[in-house]
């Protein structure tokens, strides 16, 4: 599909370039041709105007260097008036007169002989003025050849450019398709294990070899795994809706200082139970324009992530600082194995885990959807979210524009 899309793009683009070049060269050819033709015709017409002298014909002498006049007198003789020595022989003179007389037009061009003729106003004799246009014909032929070569060279030069443009334009499509395939593979993998657990426990429930208490445990396991599946599906649907780039339904001025403090107070008991400490530092009265529920969800995801993956007994720091006069920065720093630069980017992908401990079947119960959801929330609020791992710690930064109105 991608190859076909690229081939269509290259074909259409090259066709458009070829048509544009053809139009340009056709315009140049036509304008050059008409300029030369009009100039030559004007020379012959001026010669015709100067020929009205008595006795007839009494043409101006000397004629222009590339002109000659053939006059067929009433006696049947051919009189030649020329301004140069390259005069056709008598046989060619008769042939030129016959060809000119057979032409109904008053003027025309004999391309084989390289001559342009003009029927002169002669009341008694038959006179034709001839102009040597071999140089003009050669010029036009050279112009056609050069235009053709330029067209071919231009198309050959445009071909690799079109190919690179096709790759660049289809790159988002390729990325989207890969993400979709990866999403389906990851979602199938995440759902496969709980479905297996449910089916296994359901089959055990139908077996008469177990006691009532054991069957109750099977039912509880089915219920627990089903709730996990529902949570996973809800997170997947929520992330899919957020990735449609639709803004939050409700936006208002939010004091993110108070909101961050409330979140830290809610997570303090959870950190205490896990043997960790949560320290909160914030500049007061920092207001942004946003959705309070979504912003709280973002902070909750960062705090929950730090509680799950920080070193046991360590301290997690939640900071909120003013950056200049237009932005504020929220950061969550936790001790632990620092993430590499590649891992710091990949961690915001759906279903991504740094190690085997980050799994839905593990104790953390993480499916790798929290940080992608947090990233989408930051984008909805015209903010940025990224991670930096160094010096034995990992820090998540979220920057938002302040509401200055």
DSSP string, 348-383: TSTT--SSTTSSTTSSS---S-HHHHHHHHHHHTT-
pLDDT class of 66 with cuts at 50, 70, 90: confident
More confident call, 368 vs 135 = 135
Res 399: pLDDT? 94
Averaged over 170-179, what is the pLDDT?
76
Q: Is the pLDDT of residue 45 over 60?
A: yes
Task: Quote the CA–CA distance of 210 and 70 in Å, as a whole number.
Answer: 125
Strand order in the sheet with 393-401: 277-282, 315-323, 327-335, 393-401, 384-390
Q: Is the pLDDT of residue 122 over 70?
A: no
Bigger pLDDT: 148 vs 58: 148
> Tell me, what's the pLDDT at 401?
93
Cα 6 to Cα 167: distance, rounded to the nearest angstrom: 7
Looking at residue 302, its pLDDT comes to: 93
Q: What is the pLDDT of residue 62?
A: 60
Residue entry with tokens 């657990």: 197
- Candidate from 17-26, 56-65, 195-204, 212-221 with smallest mean pLDDT: 56-65
Query: Is the Cβ–Cβ distance between 303 and 317 less than 8 Å?
Result: no
Per-residue model confidence as pLDDT tens digits over 321-370: 998 778 999 999 999 888 988 888 888 887 776 654 444 444 445 567 78
* Mean pLDDT, residues 17-37: 90
Q: What is the pLDDT of residue 395?
A: 94
pLDDT at position 86 is 67
- Token pair of 117, please? 């003729």
pLDDT at 20: 92
Q: For 261-286, write each residue's pLDDT tens digit.
A: 999 998 998 898 888 999 999 998 89
The DSSP 8-state label assigned to residue 85 in this structure reads S
* Residue 280 dihedral angles phi and psi, to the nearest 5°: -120, 130
The DSSP line for 186-222 is HHHHHHHHHHHHHHHHHHHHT-TTS-HHHHHHHHHHH
Q: What pLDDT shows up at residue 69?
A: 83
Structure-token match 């360590």, residue found = 314
What does 156-174 look like in DSSP terms, one character per residue? Answer: HHHHHHHHHHHHHHHHHHH
Bridge partners, residue 126, by sequence: 72
**pTM tops 0.75, yes or no:** no
Report H helices in 243-352: 256-273, 292-309, 341-346
**Secondary element (H or E) of residue 280:** strand 277-282
Contact between 48 and 121 (Cβ < 8 Å): yes
pLDDT in tens, 365-388: 556 778 888 898 898 888 999 999
Which 8-state DSSP code applies to residue 50?
T
CB 398 within 8 A of CB 381: no
């Amino acid at each position: 599909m991608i190859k076909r899309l690229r081939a269509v793009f290259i074909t259409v683009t090259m066709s458009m370039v070829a048509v544009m070049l053809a139009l340009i060269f056709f315009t140049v050819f036509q304008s050059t041709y008409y300029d030369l033709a009009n100039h030559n015709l004007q020379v012959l017409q001026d010669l015709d105007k100067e020929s009205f002298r008595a006795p007839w014909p009494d043409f101006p002498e000397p004629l222009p260097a590339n002109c000659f006049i053939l006059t067929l007198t009433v006696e049947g003789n051919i009189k030649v008036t020329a301004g140069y020595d390259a005069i056709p022989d008598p046989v060619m003179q008769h042939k030129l007169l016959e060809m000119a007389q057979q032409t109904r037009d008053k003027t025309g061009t004999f391309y084989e002989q390289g001559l342009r003729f003009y029927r002169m106003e002669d009341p008694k004799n038959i006179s034709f003025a001839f102009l040597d246009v071999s140089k003009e014909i050669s010029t036009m032929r050279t112009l056609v050849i050069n235009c053709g070569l330029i067209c071919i060279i231009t198309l050959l030069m445009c071909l690799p450019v079109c190919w690179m443009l096709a790759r660049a334009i289809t790159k988002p499509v390729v990325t989207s398709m890969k993400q979709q395939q990866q999403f389906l593979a990851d979602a199938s993998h995440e759902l496969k294990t709980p479905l297996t657990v449910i089916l296994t426990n359901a089959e055990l429930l139908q077996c008469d070899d177990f006691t009532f208490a054991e069957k109750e445990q099977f039912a509880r396991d089915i219920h627990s795994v089903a709730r996990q599946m529902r949570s996973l599906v809800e997170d997947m649907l929520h992330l899919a809706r957020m990735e449609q780039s639709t803004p939050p339904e409700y936006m208002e001025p939010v004091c993110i200082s108070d909101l961050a403090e409330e979140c830290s107070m809610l997570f303090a008991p959870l950190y205490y139970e896990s043997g960790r400490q949560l320290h909160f530092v914030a500049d007061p009265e920092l207001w942004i324009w946003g959705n309070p529920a979504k912003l709280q969800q973002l902070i909750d995801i960062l705090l929950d992530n730090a509680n799950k993956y920080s070193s046991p007994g360590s301290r997690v720091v939640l900071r909120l600082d003013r950056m200049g006069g237009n932005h504020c920065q929220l950061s969550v720093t936790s001790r632990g194995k620092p993430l590499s630069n590649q891992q710091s980017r990949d961690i915001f992908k759906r279903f991504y885990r740094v190690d085997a401990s980050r799994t839905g079947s593990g104790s953390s119960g993480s499916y790798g959807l929290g940080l992608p959801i947090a990233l989408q929330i930051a984008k909805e609020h015209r903010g940025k979210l990224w991670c930096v791992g160094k010096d034995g710690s990992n820090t998540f930064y979220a920057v938002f524009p302040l509401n200055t109105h």
